[in-house]
Each structure stands twice: as C-alpha cells, then as structure tokens.
Chain A
Amino acid sequence: MEKNKIEVKPLLQSMLSASKEVLKKEWKHVAPVAELQIKNIIHNLEQIAELKLNKRITEEQAKLHLTIQKESFKTILLSFEGIGIITAEKAINAALNTVKSTINKAIGWRLL
C-alpha cells in the first residue's frame, strides 16, 4: 500500500460489513442506498487525507473532519435502523389485522 493513501475497496468492504452487521434483516432493503452513501463518506475520507498530505489542514483539523464524517455515517445507520423498525411494525400490525378480520368473519359480526 502506498504510504498515506487510502485503499478504497477494503475500506468499502469493511464499512459495508459493519453496516450489514448492524442492520441484519433490514440490510437487503437498504443495501443500494447504503452502498452509495458509504461511497460518499469514503470519498470524503480520501479528501481529508489529501488535505492533510498537502498540509492544507493540520492533524488536529483532520481529526475534527473525521469526527464529522463518523457522526454522519452514524446518522445514516440510525436512519436505516429506524426504517427497518417501521417495516417490522407495519408487518406485525398487518398480521394482527388479518387475525382480527378472520375472527370477525368467523363470528359473523364485528367483535374486534
């Protein structure tokens, strides 16, 4: 590996694996968008490294930039987690509604 150069592919794979681990079942729903957003973050990380290498920012500033990128990535993962929970909630309530309508139908009047 060239010194101070970010290897994009392994980094992308490792961020994707981390995201898959967090999102588990929801992953298949969000994978394409997640991959795009992770690529954007990696592009930003490359730029931070470049600014630091060209001495346009200090190490301290580079660390602060990394904090912003890390927090941004965290927000993205939280969003996917929330959307996954909404999907699960909808599925559970749809199943409960099916049971309700089955019982109502069996009884012949609206009990539930």
Chain B
Amino acid sequence: MIINIRNFGLFSILVFLFSCAEVKLIQEYDAVSNHKINIIYDKATKFFVKLKRNIGLPENRFEKHIDFYDDLKSDIHILETRTKAIDKSAIVQKQINSLDIQIQTIEQLHKAGFKSKEEIELIQSAFDQTMTAILKLQVALKNKNNQ
C-alpha cells in the first residue's frame, strides 16, 4: 500500500513537471523591438551615406547633425526600456547597451571632425557588423517562435 502511494506520488510529480514544462532560457521574439532595431539601422545607414558624400564640406560639421544623434539616442532609449520589460532579455539588453556606446563614440569622433572617407567606412563597417549580429539574434528568436 505504501509503495503504491509512493508510486502515485512520484507519478503525480512527473505529470506536474512535464505538463508545465516548456523550458524557457531566453526571451521570446518581440516584433516591436525588431522593428525599432531596423529603424535605427536605416537611419544610421542614410547618415553614413550622407557623410561619405559630403566629406570635406561644411555639411558634415557636427553641429548640422545634432538632430540625428538626438533622434537615434531616443530610439535606443525606447528600445532599452522596452527590452528591460521583457523576461530573460539579458543578452539583447547587453547588445543594445553596446549599440548605445557605439553611437556615443561615433558622436565623439564626429565632434573632432571626419577628415577622410576611409574613417567613415571604418566606422560603418563596425556598425554593419554590430547590426548584423543584433539582427541575426532577432531572426533566431523569431524562428524559435515559429517552430
């Protein structure tokens, strides 16, 4: 009788474990965040194109691009806040934080002035790699949801 009770108890625990067990180690895909990331990438790419075209011209002066930095910083702040609200989003949060540092560093370089196209291409190359990495993880999160 005792053995039967034990077996039933064990069975019940197993049933409980497996019925609620969908293990979640990382956040779910968030379409709004993904959309915002694409917007940031779009704005930054257009910015780099303009900078390369206007190299050596007064149009490239930092003062003429303050709106761009303010706009991008707002986007990143919104994205950071949204990501923080999502459960198990530590990795994406770290990526957004790194993106923020990159934008701040680009701003510092811009204040000093861009003197060559190569310098901008160098920054854009790193930025493209960053965005590819962020989007790659977004795609993987989306595929996880679709399976």
A-B contacts, CB under 8 A, total: 125
Interchain CB contact under 8 A, A64 and B105: yes
- Size category of the binding interface on chain A: 35 or more
Q: Given A71-B102, A71-B130, A86-B140, are A78 and B112 neighbors across the interface (CB < 8 Å)?
A: no
Main secondary structure of the interface of A (DSSP, over half): helix
Q: Which A residues touch B95, using CB under 8 A?
A: 75, 78-79
| Interface presence of B123 (CB below 8 A) | yes
Q: Which residues of B contact A (CB under 8 A)?
A: 14-15, 18-19, 21-26, 91-92, 94-95, 98-99, 101-102, 105-106, 108-109, 112, 115-116, 118-119, 122-123, 125-127, 129-130, 132-134, 136-137, 140-141, 144, 147
16 pairs, A vs B, C-beta closer than 8 Å: A37-B129, A41-B126, A47-B118, A56-B119, A57-B119, A67-B102, A71-B101, A71-B130, A76-B130, A78-B91, A78-B95, A79-B136, A86-B140, A90-B147, A92-B23, A93-B23
